Amino acid sequence: MSTGINKRSMTGRARVGALALVLVAGVVIAGCGSSSNTTSTKAKTTTPSSAPTPSISATSFTNNFSAMKGLASLASAGHGKIAAILPDTTSSTRYVEFDAPDLKKAAAEAGLPSSDIIVQNALGSDSTFVTDAESDVTNGATVLLIDPEDSGTGVTVQRYAKAHGVAVIDYDRLTLGAPKGTADYVSFNNVEVGTLIGNGFVSCVAAWHIAKPQVVVMHGAVTDNNATLFAQGYNGVLNSGFSSGKYKLVARTRQSSRTTRPARRSSPTCRATGSSPRRSRPRVRTRR
């Protein structure tokens, strides 16, 4: 199932729904042993005995994840463990404050024993990410939920998982270049995220009364598909300002790959400079 979830921020119902839906997908795959390639915001399949599972969407969820209780019978019929590997702890507080505890909470509400849900963090290390995945498979994981910082790491993990009969879900970030059919994909509407970044830039420029801002548009790593989708969104907002002469485009930069910093910390950034009655050389920084 390739699932897109509209996202206006990393808080509230959208975040809760995304976390829960990735667990729904994991429970479905663990319980049924396979998944479909349909595009939907609902997780709906059948058990091996052809009994339908509940239909659940992002809007079904609250902060207590009580909707996951509807998957208890499917979870009990499953086998193996579900392992989630998050990318780092420094590029965003979400991984420690929200993703890790909420993934565990959603799994518990679905009836999974705590011993059957593994949540790890690679701490920004590609080698640790791969090692964690291999260890999880060795320790009985039948489903991997992965959010690697670059596609190369994701491809390595997906190939290893496929060779060992383990299902993979790309969580939040799509792995580019992976063998066809090796993973499902659950994410937010990342183009909309980019649009919000662009709108934030426009709002700040207006609030600071910057006349004819000079803008450097910084694209994230080309190996990070989210950076590409963000760019589609914020360029859609900014390009009209450049073409009309309202903004002056000084330069566009683009990383060829993630180097010394995680891809999320090199996510698209817009900087505006100009004359302001209140500040000299003000900066506008917008981040995910």
pLDDT, tens only, 55-73: 777 788 788 888 888 888 8
Overall average pLDDT of the 258-265 stretch: 45
pLDDT band at 26 (very low <50, low <70, confident <90, very high): low
Of the candidates 104, 158, 102, 108, the one whose C-alpha atom is nearest the C-alpha of residue 129 is 158
**Per-residue pLDDT at 60:** 81
| pLDDT tops 80 at residue 5 | no
Overall average pLDDT of the 246-259 stretch: 80
Virtual torsion, Cα 223, 101, 36, 81, nearest 10 deg: 110
3-state secondary structure (DSSP) of residue 51? coil
Fold agreement (2-188, 190-275): yes
The domain segmentation of the chain, as residue ranges, is 2-188, 190-275
β 2-5/184-188 pair status: parallel
The gap between the terminal CA atoms of the chain, to the nearest Å, is 25
Q: Which fold has domain 190-275?
A: Rossmann fold (3.40.50)
Q: How many CB atoms lie within 10 A of CB 94?
A: 19
CATH superfamily, with its number, for domain 2-188? Response regulator (3.40.50.2300)
Amino acid at site 223: T
